[in-house]
């Protein structure tokens, strides 16, 4: 008797639960066949891994105290890269005459986060004309002294990180948009003794990096080089020359800080052709700093942005040489875009309240 009452109550309870669940599905729309609703188990990192592609993002430990940020970073991305912490200024803030010329503390926090979340770490960047410390830019060094400083910098940084960093952007933004060498401290102002010898100083930096960390993948990284034109032609010519002569270059980075004008079949075909020709040299092509800036966060802009994110992912996964897609940050809350491009913003996959944007779903869908 008591058993039958308990049984009937249990049946009533389960009917009630079923009814509540049905109402929830109807009212929230969950369960409809909406292409944007993907299984909960799908995240960017696992979806990309099915294509042999790593999906990572640029970050800084300052954001880790934001628990939602840290949760997304650890769950969705299979790697990270210091947005700023490994650049010459932050990592080598004092001259070598100081007892403590280097400061690896911030980068080491990144490596520790990555290790806790089974993520790879990509290094950025060793040779660049921006974010250099005053002691370096105002030091009035001779080419011979600069050569010794750069060699020490590359060697010390790579030996510090050892195998904790699997790839580096060794040289960043060395070409102008017309394909000529950019005039910089490292090239010709005054340079490291290889001024006006074209890509020789890039070759030298790669050789020092390879000697310091023989297993690391070494990249040349640039912007406005994602479609075929004078700049990507110059980079391609350098890559072919390096490959032929056994210079230790593993691949080319396409930063891809882009806007909606890239959503043009001719330009996307050109992106694909650019990746293919570098891949045909036996080199890897990484998309290293992807963000898509828009002028509004209205629905039309976010849908257009999502379409382009999806198309870029599709281009990458169709090319065997494209092994990495990195977004330059994950949330619109922390993005370099509004500070640098007046009137633009909303360039990333999560909004400033950590809601997934249409671009997130478009990327995930393209990775299915
Ligand atoms: O850390 C200082 C802080 O102490 C100071 O109070 C504050 C005042 O302005 O500046 C802070 O430094 C800023 C730094 O970001 C860290 O937030 C610099 O001013 C600012 O210029 C710097 O911007 C970085 C930019 O590189 C510098 O060129 C962006 O965050 C970073 O996203 C951006 O990244 C580059 C890639 O390395 C290479 N490709 C292009 C890409 C976008 O510009």
Cβ 130 under 6 angstroms from ligand 1: yes
| Residue range 243-294, pLDDT digits in tens | 999 999 999 999 999 999 999 999 999 999 999 999 999 999 999 999 999 9
Give 39's pLDDT tier (boundaries 50, 70, 90): low
How much is the mean pLDDT over the chain? 92
Question: Averaged over 102-110, what is the pLDDT?
Answer: 98
Would you call 226 a catalytic residue per the annotation? no
pLDDT at 326: 99
Would you call 173 a catalytic residue per the annotation? yes
Out of 76, 81, 173, 226, the active site residue is 173
pLDDT at 114: 98
pLDDT at 34: 44
Question: Averaged over 208-227, what is the pLDDT?
Answer: 98
Of 63, 84, 129, the one to substitute when testing ligand 1's pocket (max ligand atoms within 8 A of C-beta) is 84
| Structural domains of the chain, with CATH | 41-366 (3.20.20.80)
pLDDT at 41: 75
Q: What is the 3-state secondary structure (H, E, C) of the chain?
A: CHHHHHHHHHHHHHHHHHHHHHHHHHHHCCCCCCCCCCCCCCCHHHHHHCCCCEEEEEECHHHCCCHHHHHHHHHHCCEEEECCCCCHHHHCCCCCCCCCCCCCHHHHHHHHHHHHCCCEEEEEEEECCCCCCHHHHCCCCCHHHHHHHHHHHHHHHHHHHHHHCCEEEEEECCECCCCCECCCCCCCCCCCCCCCCCCHHHHHHHHHHHHHCCCCEEEEEECCCCCCCHHHHHHHHHHHHHHHHCCCCCEEEECCEEEHHHCCHHHHHHHHHHHHHHHCCCCEEEEEEEEEEECCCCHHHHHHHHHHHHHHHHHHHCCCCEEEEEECCCECCCCCHHHHCCCCECCCCECCCCCECHHHHHHHHHCC
Q: Which region among 23-32, 236-245, 336-345 has the lowest average model confidence (pLDDT)? A: 23-32
């Amino acid at each position: 008797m008591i058993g039958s009452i308990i049984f009937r109550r249990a049946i009533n309870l389960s009917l009630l639960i079923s009814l509540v669940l049905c109402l929830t599905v109807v009212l929230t729309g969950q369960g409809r066949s909406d292409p944007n609703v993907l299984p909960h188990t799908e995240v960017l990192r696992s979806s990309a891994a099915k294509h042999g592609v790593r999906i990572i993002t640029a970050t800084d430990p300052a954001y880790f105290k934001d628990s939602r940020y840290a949760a997304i970073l650890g769950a969705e991305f299979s790697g990270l890269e210091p947005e700023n912490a490994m650049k010459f200024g932050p990592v080598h803030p004092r001259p070598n005459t100081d007892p403590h010329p280097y400061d690896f503390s911030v980068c080491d926090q990144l490596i520790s986060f990555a290790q806790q979340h089974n993520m790879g770490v990509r290094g950025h960047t060793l040779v660049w004309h921006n974010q250099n410390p005053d002691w370096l830019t105002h030091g009035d060094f001779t080419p011979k002294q600069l050569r010794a400083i750069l060699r020490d910098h590359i060697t010390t940084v790579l030996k510090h990180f050892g195998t904790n960093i699997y790839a580096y952007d060794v040289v960043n933004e060395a070409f102008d948009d017309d394909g000529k060498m950019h005039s910089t401290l490292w090239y010709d102002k005054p340079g490291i003794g290889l001024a006006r010898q074209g890509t020789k100083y890039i070759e030298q930096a790669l050789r020092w990096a390879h000697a310091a960390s023989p297993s690391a993948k070494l990249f040349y990284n640039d912007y406005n080089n994602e479609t075929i034109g004078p700049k990507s032609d110059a980079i391609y010519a350098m890559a072919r020359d390096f490959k032929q002569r056994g210079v230790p270059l593993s691949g080319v980075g396409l930063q891809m800080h882009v806007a909606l004008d890239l959503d043009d079949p001719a330009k996307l075909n050109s992106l694909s052709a650019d990746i293919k020709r570098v891949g045909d040299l036996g080199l890897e092509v990484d998309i290293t700093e992807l963000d898509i800036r828009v002028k509004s966060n209205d629905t039309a802009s976010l849908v257009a942005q999502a379409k382009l994110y999806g198309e870029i992912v599709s281009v990458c996964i169709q090319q065997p040489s494209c092994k990495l897609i990195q977004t330059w940050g994950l949330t619109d809350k922390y993005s370099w875009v509004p500070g640098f491009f007046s009137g633009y913003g909303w360039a990333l996959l999560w909004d400033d309240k950590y809601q997934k944007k249409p671009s997130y779903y478009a990327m995930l869908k393209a990775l299915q």
